[in-house]
Structure 1
Amino acid sequence: MKHFSLGRLRSLTRLSLLLAAVLALPVHSASKIAADKISPTLSLAAQIDEHISQPRFAAANWGIVVISLDSGRTLYAHQADQLFQLASTAKLFTAALTLSELGADNRIPTRLLAGDGLHHGQLDGPLILYGMGDPTLGADASTLHWADQLAMQLADRGVRLVHGDLIADDSYFASPPMGSGWEAIDLQSWFAVPASALSVQDNQVEITVSPGHAEGASATLAFDPPMAIPAVINGLVTSAPRSRNDINLYRAPGGDTLHAFGNIAARAPAQNYKLAVPDPALLAGTQLLQALTRHGIRVDGKLQTLHWPQSSAHLREGMTTLAEVLSPPLGQILEHGLKRSQNLYMQNLLLLAGAKAQADAMQDPTPPSGFVSTETWGIRAMRQLLDRIGIPASASLIEEGTGLSRRNLATPSAMARLLGFLATQPYAAALRDMLPIAGVDGTLQWRMRNTPASNNVHAKTGSMSQVNGLAGYVTTAEGEHLAFAIMLNNYEPPSGAPSASRDLDAIAILLASRHGRD
């Protein structure tokens, strides 16, 4: 893959970029620094200090750095060099790696591989569906009909019978399907789907639970896509009309069986849930088999899956590509990952960078020996980038690509330095537009509306239990361009207090409203 070469990091006194960013906050927010309560007499530092020193934050930890991209000055710093949990603001590190090492224009192939045994319409197998990391199959307009596209290309070659097995192979990533530090209880959830080199429909399944025809009857479960869950034990029953629903869906970590139990009231409306698909490669293979049938191609073997630590290298020797579909450009995948905080896309991008780093290393005269996972290769590549930027290892401890791990740590200074570096790169304007925009789109669509931050702040959000963050860019009322990192750890809002996100938004609004230069 081609990639941008990295220039040396310019000093902050030379940073200059028209980047607009900041989060959005409803006008009725109870935050102490709401847009209509900004003091014209207090300095920026005094107003932020007043906000974060409220008694309700006594047991919490704030970390904040605000820098001017125009002058290089640090306008505000609070616990700037202490490590904080990042949540999804960690995706900014993955974004930097993606744009610096992979480039925004490259596309990821998904291929059908076979030997040269095609005679009179019969292809002597096996036929390998080989995923190479595209997370968008069946989820993006360009790959929505990926299975039919592959089947049509195979049919155009004259294939009518595959005499052998169809192997759905996701071993391109030599890593577990979950990122380092992901919590086991999250692995059935829609936000912690498997990171797979052969992903389909965001590796999510929508489950619709409907009451049975009468009280005491089994509830009905419908799955979209069908066959996404290999095994289901349905213990859900239909309870009396107007009774309280008690719907429970559980799949043990690492298991394929979904247990449904509890009750749903008779005549109650259907209830919808999203869960992780346990084996995306199996689902992709099933969908391809159906597409082959639609295009008049029969497979007389079995559908098999191949996962790391298995390898298909020996099977692929001598094989050629008979059909191929391409992902959207990586920049578009990254945009979805940042706007929607899509964990699958960001983890796959880290793994793609890892696969490239490993391939590059194997070209050295003395290639490395021993096993290193694709994820670790990606983190090594990220560490090398951060070293070039000037962010020390002690200030940024990143171990996966999404922010789901609570072991991802960085200082506000490190995040601000990363943002400053990104603001000097050729892709700076593109990255700015990939970030959620306050009051406009992504995870900031409903935040900071009708404030000076609206359509101004471009920033990545981060949120998990007791962890909140906001990091990005904003332009002040006088046109000064700022980068900021706001981190709040170990905080649960007390009853009657604003949400943590509103407290972060209040500071972003303060930056957007800033007049003068302290």
Structure 2
Amino acid sequence: MLRMRLPTINYQILSKFLILICSFFASLYVFGQDPVEALIKRHQIPESKLSIILEDAESGKRLIDINSNDSRSPGSVTKLFTAFAALDLLSKKYQWRTEAYISQNANDREKIDHLLIKGGGDPSFSIDDLENLILKIRATGIQEIRGGIYLDQSFFGQRKKSTGSFDESPLRPYNTMHSSLIVNSNKLDLNFNLNPQTKKIAITPLFLPRGVKIQNNLSVGFGECMDFRSQVGFEEQFSKKILTIVINGVYPDQCSNMDHDLAITKTEHYFFGSFKKLWLDSGGTINGYFKRQKKSEKDALIAQIFSEDLNSVLKLMLKESDNLISRNIFLSLAENSTRKKLRNTRKLVYKSMKENNVFWHKRNFIDNGSGLSRKSNLKPDSVMGLIEKIDQDARFIEIKSMLPISGIDGTLKNIYQSSLLQGQMRLKTGTLNGVRCLAGFITSTSGKDYRFVFMHNNFDEYEYDMRSFTTDLLNAIVSEELIASD
């Protein structure tokens, strides 16, 4: 019987061969696809509610691509498009101006019948700015305004809707509507201080315009500072040119001190009250009230204030996700147009995207520039197209530096604070009920740069923890756990 001698197996060579084969097949997978799907399943999130895109910033290769063509509600990610169009259609040095006029026929410059203030859409016009404008007016010799002031709100041609139309919370600052002439964003910054002996709550405003009063109806009861919003309510009452903020509810007894801001809805009343207070403080006298009236050719310019440049205002808008600023910037895009309606502004933004070769789908819709809308919808592919353009075009690269930094500032200051994620991401957030979005730039621990778009829409009740999922996903990207070995 013949015996066959089997060849000797070189296990070292076989091992290298198997590793080579495994590496080859691993390279056939789309980077990160399987691990991401596993993460989605582990968190029990319906994949149909998610869109995720991750790109290698150097090569442009898509490493994760999930539902990138599904239209999504973007929330405040919309502000990226507003910022981009502003830099394209205006200029980084663009400034808004607020002007003061008197009648050319005024014979007595010390005592005038009326003063007219024309708004130029300045979204960051502050109490300090108004005070500086008043000092300039007073420097012309005007001492007394006998008949009140005229307010010219004609810079924007767009009518305003109710500030509470979005979520029935009209006094929340994020609901403040666009305005050609607005000061301090209509804000009342209130400090609540509980006296532990008397159990009385003192409410102190940082600045209180004339004609605005606070009615404190609070009682003290059980609770902590985190219960303040659910236990304390605010209401406006307007009568005989007096606006009263009525504060009702139960102040939590474990909260010794609390700062809370709100924004009143009567923009012209707030402006007039602020003007009157500062005018009287300057030593002037004023009678009457305000009246809406456009500037005429018979009015002479006597003073003006310019805003900070566009770049500075954009940084504030993107870092803090300020809705009023974004709305005013959005409408300012049509300054040189004969048609200043919102519809025309949208067309200008869409045109800006197309002319700059940003992928723009015909079904995309931007409602008001802030993202505070249930009507806005964008394709994730379009959001990524914008992120790519910002990253690659020197005209828009500054937007990248304006974005919140994880765990450090802006809307990301108090989240993603772990040693792994802090400082590794520059992302624009977008959050509404049922909406959670992120878009921007990520740097891994090895220094590799990525572009990232994340959009979650689910308007039904759900039990999964979206914050936990996004944190796990970002951890995996930053640590490069999703990266297949070469």
Is 1:157 aligned with 2:157? no
Q: Secondary structure at the match of 1:428?
A: coil
Instruction: Give the aligned partner of residue 195 of structure 1.
Output: 178
Q: Give the whole-Å Cα distance in 2 for the aligned partners of 1:43 and 1:351.
A: 42
Instruction: Give the aligned partner of residue 275 of structure 2.
Output: 288
Q: Give the whole-Å Cα distance in 2 for the aligned partners of 1:373 and 1:81.
A: 32
| 1:49-448 mapped onto 2 (5 Å cutoff) | 49-54=37-42, 56-58=44-46, 61-138=49-126, 144-178=127-161, 183-208=166-191, 222-227=204-209, 230=212, 236=217, 238=219, 246-251=231-236, 258-264=245-251, 269=256, 272-299=259-286, 301-306=287-292, 312-313=293-294, 315-354=295-334, 356=335, 359-360=336-337, 362=338, 374-388=341-355, 389-448=357-416
Unmatched runs of 5 consecutive residues or more in structure 2: 1-28
Q: How far off its partner does 1:147 sit?
A: 2.6
Q: How far off its partner does 1:171 sit?
A: 3.2
Normalised to the residue count of structure 2, the TM-score between the two structures is: 0.80
Code of the residue aligned with 1:397 in structure 2: it is: F
Instruction: Give the aligned partner of residue 458 of structure 2.
Output: 490
- Residue by residue over 1:333-392, the C-alpha shift from the partner in whole angstroms, topping out at 9 and shown as x without a partner, is 1111111111111111111113x2xx33x3xxxxxxxxx653333212112122333533
Q: How far off its partner does 1:250 sit?
A: 3.2
Q: Give the whole-Å Cα distance in 1 for the aligned partners of 2:223 and 2:80.
A: 47
Q: Match for 2:474 among 490, 494, 508?
A: 508
Q: Secondary structure at the match of 1:99?
A: helix
CA pair 177-305 structure 1, distance change in 2 beyond 3 A? farther
Greater shift after overlay, 113-122 or 410-419? Answer: 113-122
Q: Secondary structure at the match of 2:44?
A: helix
Q: How far off its partner does 1:282 sit?
A: 2.2
Code of the residue aligned with 1:304 in structure 2: it is: F
Asked whether the 8 Å contact 2:194–2:200 carries over to 1, the reply is yes
Q: Give the whole-Å Cα distance in 2 for the aligned partners of 1:213 and 1:119.
A: 59
The Cα RMSD (Å) is 3.6
Q: Provide the identity percentage.
A: 18
Code of the residue aligned with 1:273 in structure 2: it is: H
Q: Secondary structure at the match of 1:482?
A: strand
- Residue by residue over 1:447-489, the C-alpha shift from the partner in whole angstroms, topping out at 9 and shown as x without a partner, is 3334454323111011122211110012345554322111111
Asked whether the 8 Å contact 1:155–1:296 carries over to 2, the reply is no
Q: How far off its partner does 1:117 sit?
A: 3.5
CA pair 268-485 structure 1, distance change in 2 beyond 3 A? closer
Asked whether the 8 Å contact 2:279–2:285 carries over to 1, the reply is yes
Question: How many residues align structurally?
Answer: 448
Normalised to the residue count of structure 1, the TM-score between the two structures is: 0.76
Code of the residue aligned with 1:467 in structure 2: it is: V
Greater shift after overlay, 124-133 or 326-335? Answer: 124-133
Q: Give the whole-Å Cα distance in 1 for the aligned partners of 2:404 and 2:63.
A: 24
Greater shift after overlay, 59-68 or 236-245? Answer: 236-245
Greater Rg, structure 1 or structure 2?
2
